[in-house]
Amino acid sequence: MSQTVTMDKIVAFCKRRGFVYQSSEIYGGIRSSYDYGPLGVEMKRNIKEEWWRHLVHMREDVVGLDAAIIMHPRVWEASGHTATFNDMLVESRTSGRRYRADHLIEEATGADAEGMSAEEMTRIIAEDGRIKDPVDGGRDFAPVRPFNLMFETYTGPVKSPENVVYLRPETAQGIFVNFKNVMQTNRVKVPFGIAQQGKSFRNEITPGNFIFRTREFEQMEMEFFVEPGTDEEWHEYWLEQRWNWYTSLGINPENLRRYEHPKEKLSHYAKRTVDIEYNFPFRGWSELEGIANRTDFDLKQHAEFSGENLEYFDQATNSRYVPYVIEPAAGPDRIMLAFLVDAYREEEVNGESRTVLKLHPRIAPTKAAVFPLSKKEPVSTVARQLYEDLKGDYRIFYDDSGAIGRRYRRQDEAGTPFCVTVDFDSLEDKQVTIRDRDTMEQERIPIAAVRDRLQGLISG
């Protein structure tokens, strides 16, 4: 069913139901920037909380961190971003538009251009007549050049070269530069991980596909430090853990696959990288999360550039070494798009059509809605009291307007897994009806049991 979902449908749905809006829309919008509305912000928070719960709170061997976005510029020299965090840019002289040269070549010829040099791409674009400006069909291109994706800004009032700083393009480096701090202030022992969530920024040449690729986005990354020699085993372990995280939250495993990066295309720091990909109906298999074996590259680079010793002393073996790092790196914006697409259904039920988001209760923006069958007292008083008792742990919605069927439909669309209705019988039997979003079955239970029942259904 989700395979029939188009991007236009999802974008329109997200706006209509208050999940995601175009940023600065009243000014005509700004490309590649999106704002999360009342339901979207709840859903994204749930994704981040589930990641944190799974990777930090449920484990004894992972601690959290929240590092600054603006870091010392030497960090990016050490990590290699200043020199190599580039995409190949080509400008069309006919339309003035700029494109990613590898994408232009790949789309016109089917050839794999990733990793080619600027000179090679310039030659192919000049010689292959199939490569045209997608806007006007022109064939007059400037030479391909590398374009650094980091956003530059200045600290303080003087815009001089020595004051240049960058908005971080990944959260990972904040973890590496705090490796020593965390080791010295927490009783951690290798193997252990440091997890972080937060905004990252990349001046993407061609952002697109809604919240799939934007210039400002969030990341959820964990660097797991291990003894060299045990890295391959830990890599497999984290691949499995991360796969299970998605399926345990309801993603259809048929829409997931592993993609092994070919050796010759690995990032400069990686020994092996495997992506978990999702089969988006509008763009096919695409990276949801990358799980890399970063070796000891980053710690060694930071040790060299900072002059600090970033070795680990293993008391058990009385030896020193620089740990290897396994890095599961994900993004909640992209994951949210996958969850939305996977859960979106248009169904015919008893001759009526309904749109329903079959989100896992842990991910659903609103966990339950409380409806009084009538707006009048005393039904409304009982319903209001139930709402007051339930609220606080998660988002509960109170709705007393319109026919009950319409109220159910609104919550189906919002992905709310449970609706609790207080009716006239509730006054006598002190019971209410809980309706399940997916089966639409209704069950009558005592008012006093609702809180525990919901808790069980949501965390189950």
List residues binding ligand GAP (CB under 6 A).
170, 172, 202, 204, 213-214, 217, 219, 221, 287, 289-290, 327, 329-331, 333-334
How far, in whole angstroms, is CA 426 from its chain's centroid?
Answer: 42
Residue 213 CB, nearest approach to ligand GAP (Å): 4
**Judged by CB, which is closer to ligand GAP: 85, or 418?**
85
From the CB of 458, what's the least distance to ligand GAP, in Å? 26
| Spatial separation of the C-alpha atoms in residues 90 and 99, rounded to whole Å | 5
- Cis before residue 378, ω within 30 degrees of 0? yes
Q: Which is nearer to ligand GAP, 191 or 331 (CB)?
A: 331
Cβ-proximal residues to 383 (8 Å cutoff; 6+ apart), any chain: 370, 371, 372, 398, 400, 422
- Which tokens belong to 345? 């259904």
Minimum CB distance to ligand GAP, residue 84 (Å): 13
| CA-angle at 399, arms to 395 and 401, nearest 5° | 160
* Enclosing H/E stretch for 370: strand 368-372
Whether 225 contacts 243, CB under 8 Å: no
Number of alpha helices (DSSP H) and beta strands (DSSP E) in the chain: 15, 23
Query: Which CB sits closer to ligand GAP, 204 or 227?
Result: 204
How far is the C-alpha of 21 from the C-alpha of 35, rounded, in Å?
A: 5
Residue among 173 and 421 whose Cβ is closer to ligand GAP: 173
Burial profile 409-427: b = 16 or more Cβ within 10 angstroms, e = fewer:
bbbbbbbbbbbbbbbeebe
> Closest distance between ligand GAP and the C-beta of residue 139, in Å?
29
Nearest CB to ligand GAP, comparing residues 85 and 192: 85
| Residue, CB closest to ligand GAP | 331
Q: How far is the CB of 204 from ligand GAP (least distance, A)?
A: 5
CB of 145 to ligand GAP, least distance (A): 21
In this complex, which beta carbon is closest to ligand GAP, that of residue 102 or of residue 289? 289
